[in-house]
A and B are shown apart, each in its own frame.
Chain A
Amino acid sequence: MTSAAPVALRSSAPRPTLGFLIVLPLLLSFAAPVAENAYAQEPVTGDAPEDIWSDDYINMIFPWAPAGDDILQFKQYHTYDTLKTRMMRLAEDNPDIFAFHEGMNGGTNARGEEVTANAYEGWYYGHSSPWMKITADVQDGDYNPFVGDTGNYPDRHDVMIVGNHHAREWMSYTVPMMQLEVIAFSYNNIGYDNDGDGQVDEDTWGDSNGDGQLDDDGDCLALSAEFQDSNGDGTACGPGDLGVDEDYSEQWITDLVNSREIYLIPMLNVDGNIYDRDVYMPGQCPGEEAWDCSAAGWRKNLRDNTVTGVTPLPDLDEEVDEGCDGVDLNRNYQFEWGAPLGATGPLVPGACYAGQNNDVYNGPVDTVDQDGDNRFNEDHVDGKDDDGDGLTDEDWLGGNSEPETKFIQDMTEMNDDTGDGSSEFKSTLTHHSFSELILWPWGHCTDCESPDHVQLRYHGQMMADMTQYANLQSSSLYPTSGDFCDWHYGVHGSYCYTSEIGTAFHQRPEDIDHIAVRNLGLGFYIAEIADNPRERADLEIANISQQNYLKEPTMIDIPEEGDIPVELCVSNQFPYSAKDTEVQWRQVKPSRMQSDFGPREWSTTPWESTGVEMIEGGCPLAAGNGTLLRAMLPVSETAVGQVHYKATVSTLGGADLYQYPADGDYYVLEVSYRAAFGSVFGAFFTFTLVATFVWGGLAVALRIMLGDDGEDDKVYEEDLRNTQVEVGNLSED
């Protein structure tokens, strides 16, 4: 009996006297300062950064450019021009792995439309989105005449990384630019010591050694406390801090480049970005830097939405109507397009409210009868055959109206290395800013889950762990329709993630480098899982579920009073749903209706479920730390016998239920009586009552019996009546 000792202690503990109780607060007040001192901080000890790393690393001087080059050192933002120039330069310097492109050649696209290269040029400034094809031997391999790229290999998994859908989100093109620099620098540069500490590849992204710390080699943790939060975000040795995830494996990056085709589109919305930088922000805050200006910035592209405007027309003379023009590119994808929910309205397609900048306008309604059946827009892109004609999504409502989204759509749909008719992008990533989130489908519906919910959540969590961002289904933030990821996942089944980088649209220059470093791993992770993200998630979830455990009876501390806490430890990587995770328990009590002569009989109560709540502090797992979940089982203090318990840990959405300790098994906890045995006063009262009743009654009865005095009868009757009244009072209490 686990709690036998406390019960025995309590039952024999002396009762505090009243006087003691009065003095108790006073005594405690003396103890208070002592207790405080006991929790005083430990003295500062530990290394200084210069004890460990190279000066370059400490000052975040990256090895791919001279110290004074602010843009290439990520101390200042790229502009469209510097970005394009740099990409071309990198392609020139690394012709074996990089091929620079702008837009695509065009031709007949996957829907049979004739498209020319200028279809992908921005409405206003007329630039196509610059992009980099990254793979080993990029000049060889198959040639894709539509896309215009070589380096297509059927056995290499394609991955698409897109930045800057939204013009003002400057970190969203900065992070892919840093990824580009890192690939260029790391490819075949095996064993480079990134931080100058004499070790190589000792700390890659995430918690690779499973100790619950991102800082796998412990160098940041070895610093004295004052240096541990070098990026000043309030988290010691968090992502983006010096010494955290700082020395990734060049071999691993090289392998990725050799086995993947990475389509890196750092700045999709060139029109909008130029406008935001050169026109919009200076217009909002003349003479100020964008990050000093309170205006949010320009979000959309530069479609001319004015009724009189002639569209499409690259018209540099016409002023942008800031109250009306532009389409939110991340609402213009076709999947469930134009069905805005919640926060995204009002969005009547094509409508433009003069003076009202509709920042999430999703573009005009489609006017083409795509399938030539003289019915318009009868089968919207949603993966269903809306009109029941046997064809799916063949005559859409709208979306894909912009050069930029057409570019993404055609690049996706025309990239079929294997010739099986389907797109090759199994995983996709789009960078946005800001909010420090990792988002994944669905976005278009609330309280809904995609078929791959658990797996999407899993990879999301991996990326969220890397960045210490929050991991959310997109619509849990707010519903969106027609976004990049819903389309990629909904139409092409690609595991698509949206990162919401940083804390501002125009992040201050001094924050560029460490925020970029913090998010650097995302692009590599998405490239790594591009082979088969679903299977990777399934295997990992199954594997991680093995680590989770329910505490055994010997680890359970039965409190002297109240509910019994049963705890389980769930891996941080395990996509559990707190809502559906529960501890099931039942009691095995000695039956109240025992047979008098037979064996001891037990009655078993039905299984009950008690929800869990997260407890601060975590818990140890075989590999690293886990999340501690606790269920408080409302087992009565008077209960005697056993409590059987087991836990069901649900993955998100309850698609998979994991049973602990094992399927169909449970733990047996012996419980002993915990309540007080009784109170002196109550016992005395009841004893008096019962004794009066039974023994008093018996005495009176015997007296009447033995004596023949008739008057005794009345005494007896009175006694009886009185005692009955007492019983009545008792049961009313």
Chain B
Amino acid sequence: MAESDQFNGRLGLIFASIGAAIGTGNIWRFPRMVGANGGGTFLIPWLIFLFAWSIPLVIAEYAMGKRSRTGTIGTFRIFAGRRFAWMGLWTAWISTAIGFYYAVVSGWTLKYFQLGITGALNGEKVDTTEVWNAFLQSSGQVIFFQFVVILLVLGTIWKGAKAIEKVNFYLMISLFVLLFLTLFLSLWMDLSDGSLDGALFMFTVDFDMLFEPEVWINGLSQSAWSCSAGMGMCITYAVYMRKDEDTVLNAFTMGLANNSISIIAGLAVLSAIFAVNPDPLATVTGGSSAITFLALPEVFAQAPGGTIGPLIMTAMFFLALSFAALTSMISTVELCVRNFVDHGYDRERSVLITGLAIFIFGIPSAVMWIKFDSAGVAFPEFLEVQDHIWGYGLMFSGLFIAFSIWKYGYIKWRAAVEEGTAAPGFAGYLGLGVSAFRDDFINTGDNDLEVGRWWDILIYIFFPILFFVLMASYFSDMIANTPNVWDPSNPKGLTIILLFWGVVAALFIGLNKKLIERPLYRNVPEGADADISELPGGEDELIGQVGDVIAGFEHLTASVEAELTD
């Protein structure tokens, strides 16, 4: 390898981050959220929360990762202190647990690309429900495509940051192009009946609906999920940043790019559905996978251009979807792998172990509990339950990040008070403590943009409020709409979620001791020096840089060093 693990230029990091952020959520979840939440009405909270939630969190993640220069576990060990390394483990686990079934879902998209390119979705007599049901029920096929996805991902991250950068770059560019082409065809279809219904709907604000709390909650959750804010992805990719990287600008670019893709995908999907569906709202308010795999192939089959038009459109759309899924999958695996590498495992072995784990633990999601809903559409209930359990676990990762920020501010202020350089009392805390993280890690002088007081307000005040609102609404909705919600044997109930969270959290807190007995190797290439001595975990003797020999763990250095040989 030519050089250490570091992204070459700004675009490399940006494309990797965008790849992480852009996933199936942009392409199949976003159009449905727009449909269910009043069209253009939804765009308002969705945009506001981009700036009030997603971007501030991504800024924080970048700042933390760039300073700690380790994956999530190391970052929390350094930023929150030795006792809190488990928070990083939680973050890594949630991401990986999602990865178990996300690989399966990515496999579906690949399968549908294959179906699309072979024209199997566009025949006159094709019943998309039958195609879907047949596919989901054939375990071999589902596992095969899941396996292919994992192979592709492993191949990409085998070699580290450089390869990730390159693959993401090409996939993202292709995704843009494919989506734009799909959008063009969709608009053409919609316009051919005389009006751009889909576009009108997507951009018309219903002011009555604007005051419905649910619309705002959905806007927040879409923004939080879609950007991967708080998932630890940006911590991971920041590890490969150069020292002078502009974290703020990157965060804005990534967030805005993510939302741009959402708009394009939303417009493409809605226009196509509105063009041919007599009751489009009934379709777009339905379940997400139903839109993507049942409605859209039907809609695309009616694209103009004889047999070629529908074929191209279907293939392009699902190829774009596969790319979106793949890039997200890459970041998921990388997040996990990075944590292994940080703790002295060599990259190839980590990649293999992670890939194998994701494959094996993904198999139940691929094949177990394939059920049929009342409309006769198959769905993988085990997968759904996994999503149900781990999806909202993400929220805690975000909360842990905020916690680290709050803690750093407090410690910094206490230390300053002891030194006599800061005023005690609340005013002093406001003056120094609250802005400490921002002053020390965000506005480092490398940024074109200075982050102002607004960021503190968002992180200290809005973040906990929104966190609480999101959790409360999720749980109250679940309690209201789930039968036997407290029954522990109900896989969709609340008890099982709390149980899983509790068990995992307890296990990780218990594991914390083991974690901090391990050495931690920070990825600090030439010119990327980042001082951590003032941080809560900064004095840890077991934290070194890649290439360091840490006392008692001499046997590990060799393997880590191997990755850095130039």
State whether B203 touches A716 (Cβ < 8 A): no
Across the interface, A12 reaches (CB within 8 A) one of B43, B195, B373, namely B195
State whether B201 touches A694 (Cβ < 8 A): no
Interface residues of A in 557-616 (CB under 8 A from B): 589-601, 603-604
Contact (A701, B47) CB under 8 Å given A595-B387, A673-B279, A713-B449: no
Q: Confirm or deny: A30 has a beta carbon within 8 angstroms of a beta carbon on chain B.
A: no
Contact (A1, B282) CB under 8 Å given A592-B37, A596-B289, A698-B260: yes
Interface residues of B in 160-176 (CB under 8 A from A): none
Q: Confirm or deny: B383 has a beta carbon within 8 angstroms of a beta carbon on chain A.
A: yes
Specify which chain A residues have a CB less than 8 angstroms from the CB of B260 in the assembled complex: 694-695, 698
State whether A705 touches B200 (Cβ < 8 A): no
The answer for the CA separation of A652 and B246 in the assembled complex, in Å, is: 77
Contact (A597, B249) CB under 8 Å given A682-B204, A713-B449: no
Contact (A595, B263) CB under 8 Å given A701-B249, A705-B10: no
State whether A599 touches B374 (Cβ < 8 A): yes
Contact (A597, B448) CB under 8 Å given A673-B281, A677-B200, A690-B43: no
The smallest C-beta distance from B162 to any residue of chain A, in angstroms, reads 20
Q: Confirm or deny: B377 has a beta carbon within 8 angstroms of a beta carbon on chain A.
A: yes
A to B CB contacts below 8 Å, 17 in the list: A1-B278, A4-B279, A12-B193, A592-B218, A593-B474, A598-B373, A600-B373, A603-B481, A638-B281, A678-B197, A682-B40, A682-B203, A683-B201, A695-B256, A695-B260, A701-B253, A724-B51
- Smallest CB-CB separation from A679: which chain B residue? B204
Interface residues of A in 687-733 (CB under 8 A from B): 687, 690-691, 693-695, 697-698, 701-702, 704-705, 710, 712-713, 716-717, 724, 727, 730-731, 733
Across the interface, A682 reaches (CB within 8 A) one of B205, B253, B374, B449, namely B205
Contact (A701, B252) CB under 8 Å given A598-B287, A690-B43: yes
Contact (A733, B207) CB under 8 Å given A594-B32, A594-B287, A701-B256: yes
Most chain A CB neighbours (cut-off 10 Å) among B194, B249, B377:
B249
Across the interface, B287 reaches (CB within 8 A) one of A600, A604, A697, namely A600
Interface residues of B in 361-390 (CB under 8 A from A): 371, 373-375, 377, 379-381, 383-384, 387-388
Specify which chain A residues have a CB less than 8 angstroms from the CB of B207 in the assembled complex: 733
The answer for the CA separation of A638 and B210 in the assembled complex, in Å, is: 13
- Smallest CB-CB separation from A690: which chain B residue? B43
Specify which chain B residues have a CB less than 8 angstroms from the CB of A684 in the assembled complex: 203
The answer for the CA separation of A705 and B474 in the assembled complex, in Å, is: 38
- Smallest CB-CB separation from B373: which chain A residue? A599
Specify which chain A residues have a CB less than 8 angstroms from the CB of B256 in the assembled complex: 694-695, 697-698, 701
The smallest C-beta distance from B498 to any residue of chain A, in angstroms, reads 18
Q: Which residues of A come within 8 Å of B, CB atoms?
A: 1, 4, 7-8, 11-12, 589-601, 603-604, 638, 640-641, 672-673, 675, 677-680, 682-684, 686-687, 690-691, 693-695, 697-698, 701-702, 704-705, 710, 712-713, 716-717, 724, 727, 730-731, 733
Specify which chain B residues have a CB less than 8 angstroms from the CB of A638 in the assembled complex: 38, 206, 209, 281
Contact (A704, B287) CB under 8 Å given A592-B214, A599-B377, A686-B40: no
State whether A690 touches B279 (Cβ < 8 A): no
The answer for the CA separation of A600 and B448 in the assembled complex, in Å, is: 46
State whether A683 touches B278 (Cβ < 8 A): no
The answer for the CA separation of A587 and B241 in the assembled complex, in Å, is: 52
Specify which chain B residues have a CB less than 8 angstroms from the CB of A7 in the assembled complex: 278-279
Q: Confirm or deny: B39 has a beta carbon within 8 angstroms of a beta carbon on chain A.
A: yes
The smallest C-beta distance from B132 to any residue of chain A, in angstroms, reads 12
Starting from the known contacts A7-B279, A599-B373, 19 additional A-B residue pairs (CB-CB under 8 Å) come to A1-B278, A592-B36, A596-B24, A596-B289, A597-B101, A597-B383, A638-B209, A677-B197, A678-B203, A680-B200, A683-B199, A683-B202, A687-B203, A694-B260, A698-B253, A704-B249, A712-B448, A724-B51, A730-B44
The smallest C-beta distance from A710 to any residue of chain B, in angstroms, reads 7
Interface residues of B in 5-33 (CB under 8 A from A): 10-11, 14, 24-25, 28-29, 32
State whether B249 touches A594 (Cβ < 8 A): no
- Smallest CB-CB separation from B375: which chain A residue? A600
The answer for the CA separation of A424 and B259 in the assembled complex, in Å, is: 87
State whether B288 touches A731 (Cβ < 8 A): no
Across the interface, B278 reaches (CB within 8 A) one of A8, A589, A675, A679, namely A8
The answer for the CA separation of A679 and B195 in the assembled complex, in Å, is: 11
State whether B29 touches A598 (Cβ < 8 A): no
The smallest C-beta distance from A338 to any residue of chain B, in angstroms, reads 58
State whether B448 touches A678 (Cβ < 8 A): no
State whether B44 touches A727 (Cβ < 8 A): yes
State whether A686 touches B371 (Cβ < 8 A): no
- Smallest CB-CB separation from A8: which chain B residue? B278
State whether A600 touches B290 (Cβ < 8 A): yes
The answer for the CA separation of A548 and B94 in the assembled complex, in Å, is: 59
**A-B pairs, 10 with minimum CB distance:** A678-B204, A599-B373, A678-B200, A673-B281, A598-B384, A683-B203, A590-B285, A698-B256, A600-B287, A677-B201
Specify which chain A residues have a CB less than 8 angstroms from the CB of B480 in the assembled complex: 603
Contact (A683, B40) CB under 8 Å given A593-B477, A596-B387: yes
For chain B, which range describes its interface: under 10, 10 to 19, 20 to 34, or 35 or more residues? Answer: 35 or more
Contact (A716, B44) CB under 8 Å given A596-B29, A597-B380: no
Interface residues of B in 289-340 (CB under 8 A from A): 289-290
Specify which chain B residues have a CB less than 8 angstroms from the CB of A594 in the assembled complex: 32, 36, 286-288
Specify which chain A residues have a CB less than 8 angstroms from the CB of B377 in the assembled complex: 599-600
Specify which chain B residues have a CB less than 8 angstroms from the CB of A733 in the assembled complex: 207
Q: Confirm or deny: B105 has a beta carbon within 8 angstroms of a beta carbon on chain A.
A: yes
Q: Confirm or deny: B145 has a beta carbon within 8 angstroms of a beta carbon on chain A.
A: no
Interface residues of B in 101-121 (CB under 8 A from A): 101, 105
Most chain B CB neighbours (cut-off 10 Å) among A679, A682, A710:
A682
Q: Confirm or deny: B152 has a beta carbon within 8 angstroms of a beta carbon on chain A.
A: no
Specify which chain B residues have a CB less than 8 angstroms from the CB of A693 in the assembled complex: 47
Digit string of B411-451 for contact with A (CB within 8 Å is 1, else 0)? 00000000000000000000000000000000000001100
Q: Confirm or deny: B543 has a beta carbon within 8 angstroms of a beta carbon on chain A.
A: no
The smallest C-beta distance from B136 to any residue of chain A, in angstroms, reads 11
State whether A595 touches B384 (Cβ < 8 A): yes
- Smallest CB-CB separation from A682: which chain B residue? B204
Specify which chain A residues have a CB less than 8 angstroms from the CB of B286 in the assembled complex: 590, 594, 600
Digit string of B382-420 for contact with A (CB within 8 Å is 1, else 0)? 011001100000000000000000000000000000000
The answer for the CA separation of A649 and B279 in the assembled complex, in Å, is: 34
- Smallest CB-CB separation from A702: which chain B residue? B253
- Smallest CB-CB separation from B108: which chain A residue? A597
- Smallest CB-CB separation from B380: which chain A residue? A597
The smallest C-beta distance from A693 to any residue of chain B, in angstroms, reads 6
Digit string of B38-82 for contact with A (CB within 8 Å is 1, else 0)? 111001100110010000000000000000000000000000000
The answer for the CA separation of A599 and B369 in the assembled complex, in Å, is: 13
- Smallest CB-CB separation from B32: which chain A residue? A594
The smallest C-beta distance from A680 to any residue of chain B, in angstroms, reads 7
The answer for the CA separation of A618 and B559 in the assembled complex, in Å, is: 90
- Smallest CB-CB separation from B287: which chain A residue? A600
Q: Confirm or deny: B178 has a beta carbon within 8 angstroms of a beta carbon on chain A.
A: no
Specify which chain A residues have a CB less than 8 angstroms from the CB of B259 in the assembled complex: 694
Q: Confirm or deny: B86 has a beta carbon within 8 angstroms of a beta carbon on chain A.
A: no
The answer for the CA separation of A697 and B199 in the assembled complex, in Å, is: 21
The smallest C-beta distance from A8 to any residue of chain B, in angstroms, reads 6
Interface residues of B in 465-483 (CB under 8 A from A): 474, 477, 480-481
Q: Confirm or deny: B183 has a beta carbon within 8 angstroms of a beta carbon on chain A.
A: no
Across the interface, B281 reaches (CB within 8 A) one of A593, A672, A713, namely A672
State whether B274 touches A677 (Cβ < 8 A): yes
Contact (A705, B32) CB under 8 Å given A597-B383, A680-B200: no
Specify which chain B residues have a CB less than 8 angstroms from the CB of A713 in the assembled complex: 448-449
- Smallest CB-CB separation from B267: which chain A residue? A687
Specify which chain B residues have a CB less than 8 angstroms from the CB of A730 in the assembled complex: 44, 205
Across the interface, A690 reaches (CB within 8 A) one of B47, B105, B257, namely B47
The smallest C-beta distance from B325 to any residue of chain A, in angstroms, reads 12
Specify which chain A residues have a CB less than 8 angstroms from the CB of B288 in the assembled complex: 594-597
The answer for the CA separation of A686 and B281 in the assembled complex, in Å, is: 20
Contact (A704, B448) CB under 8 Å given A7-B279, A678-B204, A697-B252: yes
